[in-house]
Amino acid sequence: MIRALTCIGFFAALWCSTASGQNRVAVKSGHTFQDGIYLSLEDFQSDKPQFSMSTVELSAVVNENKHTVEVDWIRLKKGDTLRMDSIWGLCWRGKPYIRVSSDSTKRKLAIFTAFQTVGNICLFSYETEEERMVEIKAYFPDTGIPFRKGKIKNVDTVVRERMLRLETGEIAPLTQENLAIWVKDYPGAQQAVEELSPEKALKTMPRIIVAYNEQNPFFLK
């Protein structure tokens, strides 16, 4: 009951307080970014892509289910092909995507994954492959007794949840410990995160981030 009251009180305090910075553009949930290619975090912070989509050509596959864009190449209509590692992110139809390093995804094509939440703290996720050794056994068919065992390499697909601090570009795994540190500057937020039960944490933490972003907005530079 104490935990529930803490969370309810936190959300009530967030939604009742007033926003500041009326003369600046705040990046909150639902903000529509300009379509184009962003070469740096600074481009994204100012919502000013270096290249608009009308000036480039690209070979890409959009996966709506995974919220990703897999890119083979991007080139300027009047220029050279852009290096994938020179691109910070892109925006397509108002939805921003961040490029995930190939070391993280273990994929040959460049993977751009959509932000699930934008604001002071942005959320995104991506799939990667994780190798682990699995023990297998061979059995005598008539007795069922194992006579040989060994280990083989097994590859699993796992999802990584990440947070991006838009002001600094810092990226960290989405965990209760990390989020509690990132929201400690807002009254009650840190306590609300720390008191979440493990079974409710993954579902509730994104809601806390959205509420935090509403009252602690990032303003375009």
C-alpha 210/C-alpha 132 separation (Å) is 35
Query: Pairing between strand 146-165 and 171-173?
Result: antiparallel
Residues (pLDDT < 50) of the chain are 1-2, 5, 16-21
pLDDT given at position 16: 47
pTM, two decimals, is: 0.79
pLDDT given at position 145: 77
CB 220 within 8 A of CB 27: yes
pLDDT given at position 131: 74
